Structure 1
Amino acid sequence: MSKNISVATPDCRGLVASSQDVAPERGVAISLFSGAGGLDLGAEQAGYRVHAAVEYNNDAADTMEKNFPDLRSPVIRQNILEVPSAEIREAAGLGQKEQPELLIGGPPCTPFSKSSFWLDWKREGLDPNASLLQEYTRVLRDLKPRYFVLENVYALTYNNRQSRPHFNRLLHEIEEYGYDCNWEVLNAANFGVPQARPRLVIVGAPKGSRTPALPKPTHGGRWERQDVGKSDSPHVTAGEALEGLHTVPEPADTVAGQYGHLLPGIPPGGNYLHYTAERGHPDPLFKWRSRYWSFLLKLDPAKPAPTIQAQPGPYVGPFHWENRRLRVAELKRLFTFPDNFELVGSRNSIQAQLGNSVPPLLAKTVIAALTEQG
């Protein structure tokens, strides 16, 4: 697929409400680090209208402009370090003394991603992107929204020198700028998303208003060898999410190269460990735990998808149980984007936009729990 091609699928079965099926109007939202708009779509489904967005990546900005007609200005496509808060306020159509109802955003997570711990300079906390957390709190301080939602990788909460100092600074700044907050690592699967995707979510409101709240799980099941969530409402499975979805082959479907031919031999839910002596394979090809767990990982239709990455390697799953890569329409289902949501860019760009996004259903649930108490 060539760059800058819009990709859409028929609006057949979706796991979330369409953009027309929303809660009563709640007010203006401003979006930072918008990406493909997962948080934004959840905010709109919770009753807000995204009037301004800041997103540096052109494909993601194009995606935002295609899907969010309430934007009062084009997406601000600058590095947020160079964007004054006053410019963001103006882009939202707010006067100098007007405050947005909601500020949302997920600063890039690479400095704190679990998959980056093997890089010495990241472990030392030297990644310059870590400062983007302070750009979020700077806008929070200047625009003084009624509520805020900040999302990031859960590894930001780890008690190590790479993550914890940044997390502590973030919480200190939120408090210093006049907000009470609650934070928790939420697994998207516990909220009806057909993907086990743990993310750090911080919600806040001005001091003295009330204590901000996070939602309680609506679904539950097994995850990482333990029972999680709400036991009487099972997780939504990948098979349920993809049921009835008709897709056409894509150029990148085939998993080829040195290891692609091994995929058909792996059972649904399995990975490269199928080809180890410990799993009883007669001709072992790999040593036990010699690869990352997602190597040759295949979806199990009876379980939620594992976390889908933004930039997977050639043999990094999850792959479809039909022994191919997941198609764009399938990825959207597994993230709870509506079937008619349009993504702009190359196939790799679309994978990155989705892999970096917050599932809209999780975003809607978080924002509704935060604001419906007010």
Structure 2
Amino acid sequence: MDINKPKIISLFSGAGGLDIGFEKAGFRTVYATDVWQTACDTLQKNNMADEVFCGDVRDIDFKSLKEKYGDIDCLIGGPPCPPYSQTRHYLIGKADGFDDEHAGFAVPEYFRALESLSPKIFFFENVDGFTFKTQQYEFDFLKKKADELGYNITFKVVNCANYGVPQTRKRFFCIGVKKELPEFVFPEETHADPDKNSEKKPWITCGEVIGDFDFITDEEKEQRPGAKDYDLLCEIPAGDNYLYFTEKRGYPNPKFKWKSRYWTFLLKLTPDRPSWTIQASFSTNQGPFHWRNRFLRIEELKRIQTIPDEYELCGDFKEQWRQVGNAVPSDMAYVIASAIKEAYFNGR
């Protein structure tokens, strides 16, 4: 352990996707926390923090943490995103934003931590829906609290594929720095859709990262992704979804109406492009599925999320899936963490 490394407190840590990237960039997580015991077990199993607290963030005395660990250099975390996701708006009678009964308190708690810890830098992550007009109150809260607490912020909705992650995963990143410091500048994108930009490196594809898993086991042959629509899944070309069977797409005997299902319904990967966003919940009919008409394996999910192969996940299959699906791609975290390290902690 290098005590001279910039110190991090990590909130809503999950399996540690952010922490892996920050550790690789030269930071040290002194304290990580999550409310889910399985995720905390994963953090502890991989020695991701000096201390792991499993419990409600509202029970944490952040001032005592500052007394214990001294000045904290960086606060990182992505408050639970369901209150701000696009799918929430389709759920009748389900409150969103700060009114969400299960996680609406999380963003205010993040800023309670920020106020108590007063780190040099903070990193806040969420789904891109956090910036939508439907979440204007919450987005304004973030900007107002950051300003009141003495931070200038720089934010961006990032497509992780444009930074070398094999997944077209959009996320909202906000970096706040003390007002006496130079404002943060996001690193330039390094990759692009090869059909639209030939000057940058082409997107990293699924074939490149999970091609060595391009086979199907006897056990997997007995499984039926797509449930009752398994036969339809087998007919869908790689890289397509249920829309293949619509009149608009020219299917002779349409089986679905246009945009009548979630876009991920019967969605299949193709080895020729990055994965679409890996969902947090395992599903029998919501993809993406492998192009060989099987469920993705945890090993493949980790590759797509750029979590190291040797990183050990606790829990059963669905619990591991949830941990990986909820994570920030570790290589994406590393890109941002490296830029923060270079700009504000040079020499440490």
What's the counterpart of residue 33 of structure 2? 54
The question of 1:263 aligning with 2:233 is answered: yes
Q: CA offset at residue 130 of structure 1?
A: 2.3
Q: CA offset at residue 121 of structure 1?
A: 3.6
Q: CA offset at residue 115 of structure 1?
A: 1.2
What's the counterpart of residue 275 of structure 2? 305
Quote the RMSD (CA, aligned, Å). 2.3
How big is each residue's C-alpha offset from its partner over 1:40-85, in whole Å with a ceiling of 9 and x where there is no partner? 001001100111111110111011111125x222x11110011111
The question of 1:326 aligning with 2:296 is answered: yes
Partner of residue 134 from structure 1, selected from 89, 108, 113: 108
Structure 2: which 5+ residue stretches go unaligned? none
Q: CA offset at residue 258 of structure 1?
A: 1.4
The question of 1:154 aligning with 2:128 is answered: yes
> Aligned with 2:125: secondary structure?
strand
Aligned-partner Cα distance in 1 for 2:204–2:40: 30
How big is each residue's C-alpha offset from its partner over 1:188-242, in whole Å with a ceiling of 9 and x where there is no partner? 10010000000000011111111122221111116xxx947x8421010011111
What's the counterpart of residue 342 of structure 2? 372
The question of 1:122 aligning with 2:95 is answered: yes
Aligned-partner Cα distance in 1 for 2:139–2:90: 20
The question of 1:220 aligning with 2:220 is answered: no
Aligned pairs for 1:204-215 (under 5 A) are 204-215=176-187
**CA separation of 1:33/1:247 partners in 2, compared to 1, >3 Å: closer, same or farther?**
farther
Partner of residue 310 from structure 2, selected from 332, 340, 365: 340
Aligned-partner Cα distance in 1 for 2:173–2:3: 24
The question of 1:290 aligning with 2:260 is answered: yes
**CA separation of 1:277/1:153 partners in 2, compared to 1, >3 Å: closer, same or farther?**
same
> Aligned with 1:52: secondary structure?
strand
Equivalent residue letter for 1:254: R
What's the counterpart of residue 358 of structure 1? 328
> Aligned with 1:138: secondary structure?
helix
Select the structure with the greater relative contact order (CA < 8 A; seq sep ≥ 6).
Answer: 1
Aligned-partner Cα distance in 1 for 2:300–2:97: 38
Aligned pairs for 1:64-143 (under 5 A) are 64-68=43-47, 71-73=49-51, 75-89=52-66, 93-94=68-69, 98-119=70-91, 120-122=93-95, 126-128=99-101, 129-143=103-117
> Aligned with 1:314: secondary structure?
coil
Q: Stretches of 4+ moved more than 4 A in 1?
A: 245-253
Higher normalized helix content (fraction of residues): 2
Q: CA offset at residue 261 of structure 1?
A: 2.1
The answer (yes or no) to whether the contact 2:72–2:120 under 8 Å persists in 1 is: yes
Structure 1: which 5+ residue stretches go unaligned? 1-19
Partner of residue 207 from structure 2, selected from 216, 239, 245: 239
Equivalent residue letter for 1:169: F
Partner of residue 187 from structure 1, selected from 147, 150, 159: 159
Equivalent residue letter for 2:5: R
The answer (yes or no) to whether the contact 2:203–2:273 under 8 Å persists in 1 is: yes
Aligned-partner Cα distance in 1 for 2:235–2:58: 49
Equivalent residue letter for 1:337: I
The answer (yes or no) to whether the contact 1:25–1:47 under 8 Å persists in 2 is: no
What's the counterpart of residue 319 of structure 2? 349
Equivalent residue letter for 1:72: D
Q: CA offset at residue 314 of structure 1?
A: 2.0
Aligned-partner Cα distance in 1 for 2:41–2:64: 20
Equivalent residue letter for 1:36: A
What's the counterpart of residue 17 of structure 1? none
**CA separation of 1:300/1:248 partners in 2, compared to 1, >3 Å: closer, same or farther?**
closer
**CA separation of 1:322/1:87 partners in 2, compared to 1, >3 Å: closer, same or farther?**
farther
User: TM-score, normalization: structure 2?
Assistant: 0.91
User: TM-score, normalization: structure 1?
Assistant: 0.85
What's the counterpart of residue 27 of structure 1? 6
The answer (yes or no) to whether the contact 1:148–1:205 under 8 Å persists in 2 is: yes
Q: Percent identity?
A: 38
